[in-house]
């Protein structure tokens, strides 16, 4: 299996590629704790290699707002100060025709996640109307529905609940439609709970 580059602070520079689509935003990601993170990263890397798709860090998007790096650092610091690790119940493996939700693990929305969304949005001083639908994507690729359905049926997640213990703020384009968009993602801040 070939190594797939990921959006990490160590291997990406700041800024956004000129060949990307959409507007530049900051996405706030909830990052799984180590055991689940390694499992999901292996699945993402395997699928990316098999389907010639972009690699990325496993995450659940908590909020998407305006592109203000200073606000991102402030939002992550405030969330890390107030919140503790969050446990989310895994519901199912889903799929869709949306590029960034080709194949994903759907999670139940809970009070802790809602609170984190509010804290992040308020601390970033952002009025974006991002709709929180917690999921962890496993593959970004345009595929026929039958192939997505078959692939979703083949994935087994060994966790009924996943603990998330860190936040990342990532500069990206919205909407994300292509591999170039994904490869232009840049981590601007990281905080552990």
Residue 7 located in a structural domain = no
Residue 143 located in a structural domain = yes
**What confidence tens digit (pLDDT) does each residue in 97-111 have?**
999 999 999 999 999
Residue 14 located in a structural domain = no
More confident residue, 5 or 57: 57
Q: Answer yes or no: is pLDDT of 138 > 60.
A: yes
Tell me the pairing of strands 103-107 and 135-139: antiparallel
> Residue 34: which of 134, 135, 159, 155 has the closest Cα?
159
Residue 124 located in a structural domain = yes
Please tell me the total count of domains within the chain: 1
Residue 1 located in a structural domain = no
The Cα 137–Cα 84 span in angstroms is: 23
CATH code, domain with 148: 3.90.1140.10
Residue 179 located in a structural domain = yes
Q: Answer yes or no: is pLDDT of 135 > 90.
A: yes
Q: How much helix, strand and coil, in percent to the nearest 5, is found in the chain?
A: 35, 30, 35
Residue 117 located in a structural domain = yes
- Whole domain around residue 110: which residue ranges? 23-192
Structure tokens at 16: 């956004």
User: 7-21, 70-84, 94-108, 116-130: which has the minimum mean pLDDT?
Assistant: 7-21
The CA–CA distances, whole Å, from 60 to 17, 52, 70, 135, 145 equal 23, 22, 22, 6, 23
* Structure confidence at residue 73 as a pLDDT band (50, 70, 90): confident
Contact at 8 Å (CB) between 55 and 44? yes
């Amino acid at each position: 299996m070939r190594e797939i580059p990921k959006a990490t602070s160590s291997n990406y520079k700041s800024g956004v590629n000129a060949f990307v689509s959409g507007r530049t935003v900051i996405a706030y990601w909830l990052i799984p704790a180590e055991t689940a993170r390694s499992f999901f990263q292996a699945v993402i890397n395997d699928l990316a290699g098999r389907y010639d798709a972009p690699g990325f860090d496993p995450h659940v998007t908590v909020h998407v707002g305006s592109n203000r790096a200073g606000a991102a650092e402030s939002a992550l610091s405030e969330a890390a100060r107030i919140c503790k690790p969050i446990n989310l119940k895994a519901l199912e493996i889903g799929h869709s025709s949306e590029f960034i939700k080709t194949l994903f693990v759907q999670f139940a929305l809970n009070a802790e996640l809602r609170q984190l969304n509010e804290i992040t949005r308020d601390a970033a001083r952002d009025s974006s109307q991002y709709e929180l639908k917690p999921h962890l994507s496993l593959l970004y690729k345009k595929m026929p529905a039958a192939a997505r359905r078959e692939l979703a049926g083949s994935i087994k997640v060994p966790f009924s609940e996943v603990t998330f213990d860190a936040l990342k703020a990532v500069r990206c384009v919205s909407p994300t439609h292509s591999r170039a968009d994904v490869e232009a993602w840049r981590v601007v801040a990281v905080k552990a709970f």
